[in-house]
Structure 1
Amino acid sequence: MKTSMSSSATYSQSSAIETNKVLRNTYALLSLTLLFSAIVAGGSLLLQLPHPGIIISLVGFLGLFFLTAKLSNSIWGLPSVFALTGFMGYTLGPIVGHYLSMPGGGAIVMNAMGMTGIIFLALSAYVLTTKKNFSFMGGFLMVGMILGIVAGLAAFFFQIPALSLAVSAMFVLLMSGFILYETSNILHGGEINYIMATVSLYLSIYNLFTSLLHLLGFLGSDE
């Protein structure tokens, strides 16, 4: 009986140590990828590089995402995740440039950046402090993501501004949910690969920021 209890305590302690290691590695890599992505976005903005377009963006993202997933258990996963986040940074530069060219564009971009940071830090701190398990949200979030992507493509191809705005508002809520879900997933041992955990959180932050940009840009426009 004592041996069984001792083994259980040892396993729990080992599991907690492993979880803390994944958390530390994830947040360290996330910080580096966000910084790298911001540098690439700044370079893209300064050089006034054109946006690659929705087709190239999707192909580039999906290709690098699946490559990163395949290499995530090897040392090559690290350069792959930087390639993915660097590419996303390149696509972000022209988007930010568009909003900076608007009246009051600087304030719009800074507000979107500040709100993104506050939302991410607040939600992450909530999960880490309360240790609540948000795994139940997985199915709902995936369905919402599929609906959001379909609606977003419809808004883009059929040029429906109201639908595009609704999709951005929907994505703000969805990405907030994903931050809760993904942080909880790491904390409770559902995600033990820090590279894929980093990619998940990075994409949530990226989509949250661009969605807030769209919403604040609309509110700040004269239309």
Structure 2
Amino acid sequence: MRLNTAISRPEASILATNKMLKNTYMLLAMTLIFSAITAGAAMYLNLPHPGLVITMIGYFGLLFLTTKFSNSSLGLVFVFALTGFMGLTLGPILNMYTQAFNNGHELIMTALGGTGVIFLGLSGYALTTRKDFSFLGGFLMVGILVAFLAGIGAMFFAMPGLSLAVSAMFILLMSGMILFQTSAIIHGGETNYILATISLYVSIYNLFLSLLQLLGVFSGDD
């Protein structure tokens, strides 16, 4: 009887991990598609960007609600509300690139492709090696806070050099977050697929914007 229990526990753990991965990636794919739709609608309607204050209030407010209701069906509603809102804020930024650069569409597609390659590569690495990247947690949290504050400073004080440095920092930090979150799912550190989805979505979103900004500076055709 004890032997059967010992055998069943690892099997149950593997099944739980596989279910968690399936639910997370399925929801992530759905939110990315929904976000792309809302971004496309914002571009088509030529909506103005809501501004930093409204964006921050909307983002943190919906993030709080998503976290608060992550264990209920309402969590799914707020996941799509959050990712849809982020898509609406992304649309005007993409329009700006298409209008500011002759190769704006190419820059967007290149950033999108680069984001996909980085995400798939890092996720695949974490899944196949099954290494534990939990040690990155503290460093990533501090790094993201520093980069976020530096980004606000670069915006208010018009410091393009600092803005580029922040974009490069975010590429590294978001790559680390993808490894960290995927590892947490594999090793049982994260058991809520809604929270895992949001973490990965935010990493992908920031990774894409950071790549786009760097491409606009170094490869943009005015």
Same fold flag (TM > 0.5): yes
**1:173-192 to 2 correspondences below 5 Å:** 173-192=172-191
In the alignment, residue 66 of structure 2 is paired with which amino acid?
T
Consecutive aligned runs of 4 or more in structure 1 exceeding 6 Å deviation: none
Determine if contact 2:98/2:105 at 8 Å carries over to the other structure: yes
Q: Which residue of 2 aligns with 1:30?
A: 28
Aligned length: 221
Q: Hey, what does 2:107 align to over in structure 1? A: 108
Name whichever of 148-157 and 96-105 sits farther off: 96-105
Between the aligned partners of 2:220 and 2:42, the Cα distance in structure 1 is 24
CA distance in 2: counterparts of 1:76 and 1:108, whole angstroms:
37
Q: 1: distance between equivalents of 2:154 and 2:196?
A: 30
Native 8 Å contact 2:131 2:183 kept in 1: yes
How does the TM-score come out when normalised to structure 1?
0.97
Report the TM-score when normalising by structure 2.
Answer: 0.97
Residue in 2 that maps onto 1:47:
45
Correspondence 1:1-223 to 2 at 5 A: 3-101=1-99, 102-221=101-220
Alignment check: 8 A CA contact 2:20 2:191 kept: yes
Unaligned runs of 5+ in 1: none
Distance 1:124 1:111 in 2: 20
Aligned residue for 2:48, secondary structure, equals coil
Query: Which amino acid is the alignment partner of residue 206 of structure 1?
Result: Y
For residues 7 and 159 of structure 1, the distance between their equivalents in structure 2, rounded to whole angstroms, comes to 62
Q: Return the offset for 1:5.
A: 3.8
Q: What is the deviation of 1:6?
A: 2.9
Question: Unpaired runs of 5+ in structure 2?
Answer: none
One-letter amino acid of the structure 2 residue matched with residue 161 of structure 1? P
